[in-house]
Structure 1
């Protein structure tokens, strides 16, 4: 699987944070650490879902990056290369029937009709399930904690506070955990305790 060089992620050896930041930079630090400590088991996770990322660290740094680059999917022979400027959103074209006054209003909005429609649908989806972002952040944090913090003191109490969204208790429980681990956990769990921090649909569309 190909990962963007800018994908936010973090790497751990046990509960020790080795690196955090864009994927390309994290891989560089992971490779350096591996060369100096070949017996360490290093785990890399993406920030959003805390899913593990496997990287083949054999050979030189150039070898590692070359293999990652080879994981890009080539375009099909007859595929047309998209012109720059349009975000890669996986947009599907379908018919939308509106009254003239609706089209007039849409075209006057920032970004035009398509962007406005996507934003409105996204807001409606969020309103229908306002806690979806919070649950997603809870699951992501839980996956990370299970993988690298299972041996930490009061781990089970921390998990209970996480799913109860009790921020003060959660912060107090993990206060004595390693600094890098603690800071990363607080970063990926921020939406759990403040759902308003979830990125808006408009921000997601711009990425």
Structure 2
């Protein structure tokens, strides 16, 4: 299940699994008016989210979004998993998170930030100059240009950029 982030008027109002964000949007829309944009965290693309009929969560660990499913492994794999701290489930989650962190190239991260900025930041000051700095690999200038933007917007752009920001 992919994670998404929702913005309303330049402010992040929800982030996480699609169902959780859908429930948050249903609540937000009942309390206030305004356009809400939802973005896929992995690509920065605008996505549709049907928040009208979000089913309640089943029993379990709802805050973590834990789902029980079957995994088929050889005995040697189960033995190795059983020897890891926290047990098999914790070891699998750590391995998956480690691989997910290594999943995007610099270009994919930059493109994700661009798609988000194109949809959510077109009316921000210095928008076009910021895009030029982004694609010209001038990270200090890029950060300076987006710094006057709403904090949630800047934070999300930098999240989409990931390691590219850390390497600057």
Partner of 2:71: 85
Show structure 2 runs of 5+ residues with no match. Answer: 57-68, 74-79, 81-103
User: Normalised by the size of structure 2, how large is the TM-score?
Assistant: 0.66
Describe how 1:16-95 pairs up with structure 2 within 5 A. Answer: 16-37=11-32, 39-58=33-52, 63-65=53-55, 84-86=70-72
> What is the Cα deviation at residue 153 of structure 1?
0.6
Change in Cα spacing, 1:169 to 1:64, as seen in structure 2 (3 Å) is same
Show structure 1 runs of 5+ residues with no match. Answer: 67-82, 88-109, 111-131, 196-207
Asked if 1:138 corresponds to 2:110, the answer is: yes
Matching residue within 9, 12, 23 for 1:14: 9
> What is the Cα deviation at residue 8 of structure 1?
2.0
Matching residue within 108, 122, 125 for 1:153: 125
Max Rg structure? 1
Number of residue equivalences: 127
Calculate the aligned-residue CA RMSD, in Å. Answer: 2.5
Partner of 1:169: 141
Q: Distance in 2 between matches of 1:52 and 1:141?
A: 11
> What is the Cα deviation at residue 52 of structure 1?
2.2
Q: Distance in 1 between matches of 2:124 and 2:34?
A: 19
User: Normalised by the size of structure 1, how large is the TM-score?
Assistant: 0.54
- Cα deviation code 1:44-65 (max 9, x no counterpart): 111111122212333xxxx333
